[in-house]
Amino acid sequence: MDLGLSDRVYVLTGASRGLGFATAQALAADGANVVVSGRTEATVKAAVDALGPERAVGLVADLGAPDTGDRLVAAARTRFGRLDGALISVGGPPHGGVLDVADEDWHAAFATLFMGTVRLARTLAAALGERPPGDAAAIGLVLSSSVRQPLSTLAISNGFRPGLAGLAKDLSNQLGPKGIRVFSLLPGAFLTDRNLELMAAAPDPAKAQADRSATIPLRRMGRPEEFGRVAAFALSPAASYLTGTALRIDGGVITAI
């Protein structure tokens, strides 16, 4: 299946590792060019080296910084001459229940995780402008299964991510007439570097993974490339009639229909 990605250009935040990087790999493998951002120079450089400098450019950037959107757009246009969409990875907030999380953690998460996403989406919408019929751009938000059901000890995620999913739906209505699609992706448990590190720190790493897998209907954690392929399709012209939805990529762990 031709996804129509050849020479199209996408920016991806938080994409030097994990699910964002897996998406960048899938896009580049199908002929797209990517601008990937991350918080450290070492991980960004490693990502660009793995993707290939002919297909990728890297930027050290934080979602919460006010100039991140402008820098990403400028990098795409300077290096590749165009912009066709973006994947905004909303980082993981601190752990803690509703009664445990301090006010300053809520405020910090709102300023970075929530407002950083809103600010970047506005910048991208302005940069993408109006698209001709049949050539829709796409903005995807990587949220989590907490959009559909709360996660234990992740009160900040449970509070903010459903709101971001609602804003993505609202934005899809506003930008649809301009030829810009907007959607959310709701990943479940994946074998990312971070999750592997967390399980490795458990007294019995194999049991930790087995216990987590037992809660998933497919009885295993997902591989990052399984997320990346779905995300690349959703961003591509092949998904030209997909907008305003929240796609669950979770192995069936969300119990709601």
Strand order in the sheet with 56-60: 56-60, 33-38, 9-12, 85-89, 137-142, 180-187, 246-249
Task: With a cut of 90, say whether residue 159 has pLDDT above it.
Answer: yes
pLDDT at 1: 81
Give percent of the chain above pLDDT 70: 100
Domain ranges for the chain, please list them. Answer: 9-189+223-249
Write the pLDDT tens digit of every residue in 235-249.
999 999 999 999 999
Place 250 in a pLDDT band, splitting at 50, 70 and 90.
very high
Task: With a cut of 90, say whether residue 197 has pLDDT above it.
Answer: no
CA–CA gap between residue 212 and residue 68 (Å, rounded) = 35
CA–CA gap between residue 56 and residue 70 (Å, rounded) = 18
Task: With a cut of 80, say whether residue 229 has pLDDT above it.
Answer: yes
Average pLDDT over residues 81-91: 94
Write the pLDDT tens digit of every residue in 161-193.
999 999 999 999 999 999 999 999 999 999 998
Average pLDDT over residues 47-76: 96
Name the pTM for this structure: 0.95
- Diameter of the chain by CA atoms? 56
Q: Is the distance from CB of 101 to CB of 157 less than 8 angstroms?
A: no
Task: With a cut of 90, say whether residue 52 has pLDDT above it.
Answer: yes
Place 151 in a pLDDT band, splitting at 50, 70 and 90.
confident
Q: Which region, left, alpha or beta, applies to residue 183 given φ > 0 means left and ψ of -120 to 50 means alpha?
A: beta
Tell me the sheet residues that pair with 87. 12, 140
Burial of 62 (0-12, 13-18, 19+ CB in 10 A): middle
Task: With a cut of 80, say whether residue 29 has pLDDT above it.
Answer: yes
Task: With a cut of 80, say whether residue 92 has pLDDT above it.
Answer: no
Average pLDDT over residues 106-114: 93
CA–CA gap between residue 98 and residue 255 (Å, rounded) = 22
Average pLDDT over residues 106-132: 95
pLDDT at 198: 80
CA–CA gap between residue 126 and residue 120 (Å, rounded) = 10
Can you identify the CATH homologous superfamily of domain 9-189+223-249? NAD(P)-binding Rossmann-like Domain (3.40.50.720)
Task: With a cut of 90, say whether residue 76 has pLDDT above it.
Answer: yes
